[in-house]
Amino acid sequence: MLPLEGKVAIVTGAGRYNGIGRHIALALARQGADIAITGSGRPPDAYPEDEKAMGWHDIDSVAEEVRALGRRALPLVVDIAKAEQVQRLVEETRRELGRIDILVNNAAAARGRDRVPVVQLEEAEWRRVIEVNLTGTFLVTKAVAGALIEQGEGGRIVNISSVAGREGIATFAAYGTTKAGIILFTQVLARELAPHGINVNCVCPGLVGTYRMQDVTQGPIRNAVMRTIPLGREGRPEEIGELVAFLCGPDASYIHGQAINIDGGRVMQP
């Protein structure tokens, strides 16, 4: 019997082919979980060229991959910053897949004009990043945690933060602030949900070779970034997926309230 056999997971922000969310969904499915997969409903003309070339269909393609692993899949377009859509996510997951056991808060605002010094940062960009990364995570967690408590059988919540939430990085004011907030949010949740048997943890990736980070992993500053990573390489999104799947499995039952770096050694803390 697989470790997550009979479990149902929600993974937010899992529609990109070369994204962490997709690899989290697939890792959980390989461990036996059925998966509700959310995406923002990005238009096909916004897909990167490699996705266009392969005929990628966002969360529907991820759902096909999950089903190919023998698991059930429910793709849903959800704006996580809107409470009514989050409630629909919970209701449809319970109706179609029967229950909820695991939540992975992976969805995050796309990189945009927020990566500038604070004195140049537009208020609208600040609010956009806060709304998705923090408010969206709060709304999804509130709804799913309520369902887990009602269900009365414990559960797992894993929040995806970043090493950018561990240290101040120039031009990362909005993103880094939200990711630091997610680490503290994880600790608060861990205190509140422990009596209900719900483990809550946080994963903090470093530089990972995803589409979101192509300007770093393929650009002129690559060598400078690599010099800050003791292992001398970028991470792979599937490595993040496997860590998350472990935290959702039975062997991680005593890991609680932690923010775990997975960054090749770039950020080391006592």
The phi, psi pair for 9, rounded to 5°, reads -120, 145
Active site residue 254: no
- Among candidates 175, 137, 129, which has minimal Cα distance to 157? 137
Q: Which of 17, 47, 175, 211 is catalytic?
A: 175
Q: d(Cα 160, Cα 137) in Å, to the nearest integer? A: 10
Q: d(Cα 137, Cα 132) in Å, to the nearest integer? A: 7
Cβ contact 163:156 at 8 Å: no
How far is residue 115 from each of residues 122, 125, 212, measured CA to CA in Å? 10, 9, 13
Which helix or strand (DSSP H or E) is residue 80 part of? none
- Give the 3-state secondary structure of residue 219: coil
User: At CB < 8 A and 24+ separation, what contacts does 50-55 make?
Assistant: 50/17, 50/18, 51/16, 51/17, 54/17
- Give the 3-state secondary structure of residue 41: coil
Cβ contact 35:71 at 8 Å: yes
Transcribe 83-133 into DSSP letters.
HHHHHHHHHHHHHHHS---EEEE---PPP-TTSS-GGG--HHHHHHHHIII
List active site positions.
175
